[in-house]
Structure formats: C-alpha cells, structure tokens
Amino acid sequence: MPTSAGEAVAVPVGWRVMSTLGTLGAGHIGSTVARLALEAGYDVVLSNSRGPDTLRDLVTDLGPRARAGTAQEAAAADLVLVTVPFARYRDLDPDLLSGRVVLDTMNYYPERDGRVPELDEHRTTTSAMLQQHAPGARVVKTFSGIRWDHLGDLAQPSGAEDRSTLLVAGDDAEAKERAASFLDAIGYDALDAGSLAESWRFENGQPAYTAAYVRDGQTGRVVGEVEGVPADAARLRDLLGRADRGLVLP
Ligand SMILES: NC(=O)c1ccc[n+]([C@@H]2O[C@H](COP(=O)([O-])OP(=O)(O)OC[C@H]3O[C@@H](n4cnc5c(N)ncnc54)[C@H](OP(=O)(O)O)[C@@H]3O)[C@@H](O)[C@H]2O)c1
C-alpha cells in the first residue's frame, strides 16, 4: 500500500524475497549496513573504488556470507546500497543501477565534496541528483540521517519497545516498501519522508539530520562521541516538521 509523507511504511506480509545486498562503497556506513544485513540472514557483496583485494580483511571479519566483488557484482544484488562520498557518485556506472532498488546513503558535505551550486541554491536534492545520474535506478534515500555508530548500536528486533525508526524518501512507492522491508529485517521501522524532491528535509544541516538519535534538545549535525538513543516515528515527525530550507550549511 503506497504511503504518503509522515506515514509509517508498512512491510508487506511475507515479502522477504530479497536475499542479497550489494554495496558500492564499503566504509563506515557500507560496512555497518553489511554487518546488520548479514546478521539478518542476507548475503552481502561489498565493493569500493580500489578493488576487491583491498576488502579482504573486512570480508574476513564479516564472515563467510560476505564477499568482496566488483561494482558490477555488487550491483547485481537484490538491493544496492550506494554509500560513497557524495562527490564520487558520478563515478558510478548508471547502467549498473538501472532497474535496481538503490538505497542512497549519501550526504553533501561542502568541505569534503566541494561546493555544488544547485544544492547551495536549493534547486535540487542530493538524492534527486543521483536519480538524475542513474534515471533507471529506483532510488530511495535512507540511512543518510543516522550516524554509522548509532546505526550499528540501535538496531532492535521487530516489536521491541525501544526500536528506532529511519526515514525513507523516494519517488517509487514499491521501492520504498522494499527498502522498508529491508530496514525491518535489519532492525528498524521506516517512516515516509516524501519524494526525492522533498528529501532535503533530512539532508545535512536540517534538524532531522543525525540528531534524532541523540538525547532530545540537540538538533542538526552530531559530532564527537555521543551515545546513540532510540528515536521513534513521533520524534522523527517532529524534527521533520522543523525543517527549514533557509538553514545554511557551514
Ligand atoms: N559516516 C557516517 O556516519 C554517515 C552517516 C550517514 C550517511 N553517510 C554518508 O554515506 C556516504 C559514505 O559515508 P562513509 O562514512 O561510509 O564514508 P567512508 O567511510 O569514507 O567510505 C567511503 C567508501 O566509498 C568508497 N568509494 C569512494 N569513491 C568510490 C567510487 N568512485 N566508487 C566506489 N566506491 C568508492 C570508498 O572506497 P575506496 O577507499 O576504495 O575509495 C569507501 O569504501 C557519504 O556520502 C556520507 O556522507 C555517512
């Protein structure tokens, strides 16, 4: 059942046909999502820019159901995680992403990625830019608004009282449901944050950006060693409601 912004994304009953996750990028977020997916019974193919050999230690650490592959091998998985520095998304071959449900974790950090005028001028969003680069991809923005350490720490089984919610945004309702199904399997509920055009509401610099998962009172980017705390849908709705495109990135 398609959802609208502000609604929980339901997980269709019995819809657990996806069994492999591929990652383009295998750093903090890529390896954390990989670990959660492996714990949930997925097979995982990780890739990076330097080639599978450079991921040998990581896949050994992750265990026998993880393997390192090429971008082509990773992108052939049921679900594809795009988790590279934002400035690098144009390096990814759009053909590999065509027809794939793509979970986009990327954030724009001008100090790392360089200035991007269309983002600074609020003409688009980071995920809409990925979608434009790979028109055949079924892009869903998620994982981008939680820090990797909190993501690893806060996963809880379905129904747990202290289960956290992650935001999902996208233009393809079924892809969003597939993303929600994956999130459910790895330990999170999903809240619909609207379309890719609306996904600026949890981009870097917005109140809902990473601060949902620390003690109430802080909004915006979380830095330093801060304990992660669970955040439910109500907390995320509240922070999303405080989104303001006039906020300026440092
Ligand atoms: N860190 C967080 O807490 C966090 C939270 C939410 C979202 N994010 C966002 O998620 C993305 C990844 O963040 P991260 O912290 O995981 O970064 P990271 O630790 O620096 O890892 C980046 C990964 O991307 C790979 N990579 C770089 N260029 C590539 C390319 N052209 N093709 C394929 N792989 C490439 C790197 O591999 P090589 O070393 O081989 O280049 C590395 O495995 C960023 O956009 C970030 O803003 C991060």
pLDDT at 86 over 60: yes
141 Cβ closer than 6 Å to some ligand 1 atom: no
The answer on pLDDT for 250 being more than 70 is no
Q: Mean of the per-residue pLDDT values for the chain?
A: 93
Give the separation between CA 139 and CA 116, rounded to whole angstroms: 20
| Cα–ligand 1 centroid distance for 87 (angstroms) | 10
Nearest-atom index, ligand 1, CA of 86: 45
pLDDT tier for residue 12 given thresholds of 50, 70 and 90:
low
Digit-coded pLDDT (tens) for 92-131: 999 999 999 999 999 999 999 999 999 999 999 999 999 9
Helix axes 28-39, 173-186, angle to 10 degrees: 70
Q: Which residue has the higher pLDDT, 9 or 45?
A: 45
> Best substitution site from 54, 84, 214 to test ligand 1's pocket, by max atoms within 8 Å of Cβ?
84
- Which of 143, 117, 131, 147 shows the shortest CA–CA distance to 213? 147
For a mutational test of ligand 1's pocket, the pick from 44, 45, 49, 102, i.e. the residue with the most ligand atoms closer than 8 A to its C-beta, is: 49
Beta bridge partners of 192: 168
What's the pLDDT band for 146 if we cut at 50, 70, 90? very high
Q: Which of 23, 28, 55 has the most ligand 1 atoms within 8 A of CB, as the residue to mutate?
A: 28
Answer yes or no: is the C-beta of 131 below 6 A from any ligand 1 atom. Answer: no
**26/246: higher pLDDT:** 26
Q: Closest ligand 1 atom, CA of 91?
A: 31
Is the minimum distance from the CB of 96 to ligand 1 under 6 angstroms? no
User: Which domains does the chain show, CATH number per domain?
Assistant: 20-241 (3.40.50.720)
190-234 pLDDT per residue, tens: 999 999 999 999 999 999 999 999 986 665 667 778 899 999 999
- Alpha-carbon distance of 77 to 23, in angstroms, equals 9
CA–CA distance, 201 with 186 (Å, rounded to integer): 24
